[in-house]
Amino acid sequence: MKLYVARHGQTQWNLENRVSGRTDIPLTELGLKQAGMLAEEASGLELDLIIASPLLRAQQTAAVVAKRCEIPMITDERLIEHDFGCFEGCLRTDPEFRAIRKNLAFRYPGGESSFDVAARVYSLLDEIRITCADKNVLLVCHGALARVLRTYFVDMTNEEFGAFMTDNCKCVLYETEDGSHGNRAGRDGEETAICSEEKRLF
Which residues participate in catalysis according to the annotation?
8, 81
Single-letter amino acid, residue 23: T
Q: Which of 81, 79, 32, 30 is nearest to 60 (CA)?
A: 32
E strand map for 13-122: 49-52, 73-75
Question: In angstroms, rounded to a whole number, what is the distance separating the alpha carbons of residues 157 and 154?
Answer: 10
Q: Is the alpha carbon torsion for 14, 112, 147, 181 positive or negative?
A: negative
